[in-house]
Amino acid sequence: MSVTARNPAGVRTVLLASPRSFCAGVERAIAIVEHLLDHRDGPVYVRKQIVHNTHVVADLQARGAVFVEELDAVPDGATVVFSAHGVSPAVRTKAADRGLDVIDATCPLVTKVHTEARRFAARGDTVILIGHAGHEEVEGTLGEAPDQTILLQTAEDVADLHVADPTRVSYLTQTTLAVDETAEIIHALQSRFPALQGPASDDICYATTNRQHALTAIAEESDLVLVVGSTNSSNSLRLVELARRHGTPSYLIDDPTDIHPEWLQGARVIGLTAGASAPPRLVNAVIAALAELGPLTVVEHETTRETVHFALPTPVRQS
Ligand code: SF4
């Protein structure tokens, strides 16, 4: 029986996708900054947004973290945190040259992609990095072997690729891409380069994959899908696109104040999820805001249970 058939007229239903919201990499990155703010003397600088969420950044800023775009804004010798998206080797070198006290909050699953980039480049391959131009994670990964790496954004672009040796090509992906679209791009690459090699396990991370599967399970039963996340959050944007590909109107909201009343007209079943960088409390705030508009039933739909946890870096644990 569908959700609408179960509910009496006048009652709105929220279908809550699970898993949603914070992933292990985001929790670790935020915990690193919080730990440093609590235990270190002096300012804690963070290069770029620690994770792509305006509320997370504002909260940490309010607690004293100083967010900067580049290392030039960090005084010599100061503590600086690298964000969850990772950095290129050039940034690491610059920080070392400046004598900065670096704490690395790069997600271990982004580090995995960097390691693969170095390994593939070291064996002489042209490395095709599937990802979005300008994203911080992509810029960091490209920096591992810039002369041997080509950024690929769409399946249509495969035909235009020029590689030194078509028998020595490997691919990597950004961790937060759409699973279905990326499979199409990899298929196009395999057709063009039959000897193509890839990572031993998917680069699209468990959290991105799980959130997309969870949303797929509720998207078509929903009249509207709201995704909590910020506009620069890649995995949140992919969730909005995914819901729309299932034929359901979908919008990205930073918090309940972004909800336009006209979106809710005629929407009896509202699918709700959150990107991996969006705090769970914002999902609760959206539910509370919807409940103020009339009777509401909340049904959680869990497709898998996540148990991944990443330990804090040793220098943080020891401080
Ligand atoms: S979305 Fe994936 S890669 Fe990014 S921080 Fe979370 S677990 Fe790590």
Domains of the chain, by residue range, sit at: 3-23+205-302, 24-107, 109-204
| pLDDT tens digits, one per residue of 40-64 | 988 999 999 999 999 999 999 999 9
The answer to whether the 3-23+205-302 and 109-204 domains have the same CATH topology is yes
Q: What is the CATH number of domain 109-204?
A: 3.40.1010.20
Instruction: Write down the CATH number for the domain with range 24-107.
Output: 3.40.50.11270
Nearest CA to ligand 1 atom 2: 205
Which atom of ligand 1 is nearest to 25's Cα?
Answer: 5
Ligand 1 atom closest to 84 (CA): 5
Pocket of ligand 1 (CB under 6 A): 23-26, 84, 107, 109-110, 175-176, 205, 207-208, 235, 276
What is the layout of strands, in order, in the sheet containing 269-274?
250-253, 224-228, 269-274, 12-18, 296-302
Task: Measure CA of the first residue to CA of the last residue in the chain; give whole Å.
Answer: 55
* Domain 3-23+205-302 CATH (choose: 3.30.930.10, 3.30.70.20, 3.40.50.1970, 3.40.1010.20): 3.40.1010.20
- CA–CA–CA angle 215, 223, 211 (5° rounding): 10
| Token pair of 198 as six digits | 């890839």
Q: Is 137 labeled as catalytic in the residue annotation? A: yes
Residue 141 identity (one-letter amino acid): T
Tens of pLDDT, residue by residue, the chain (319 residues): 455 445 556 789 999 999 999 999 999 999 999 999 999 988 999 999 999 999 999 999 999 999 999 999 999 999 999 999 999 999 999 999 999 999 999 999 999 999 999 999 999 999 999 999 999 999 999 999 999 999 999 999 999 999 999 999 999 999 999 999 999 999 999 999 999 999 999 999 999 999 999 999 999 999 999 999 999 999 999 999 999 999 999 999 999 999 999 999 999 999 999 999 999 999 999 999 999 999 999 999 999 999 999 999 998 988 7
The reported pLDDT for the residue numbered 2 is 52
Question: Which residue among the candidates 137, 241, 262, 300 is catalytic per the annotation?
Answer: 137
pTM recorded for the entire structure: 0.95
From the list 204, 219, 178, 245, the residue with the least C-alpha distance to 303 is 219
Instruction: Indicate the pairing of strand 169-173 with strand 126-130.
Output: parallel
For ligand 1, atom 5, the nearest C-alpha belongs to 25
**Pocket test residue of 22, 28, 110, 233 for ligand 1, highest count of atoms within 8 A of CB:** 110
Sheet containing 66-68: give its strands across: 66-68, 44-47, 79-82, 101-104
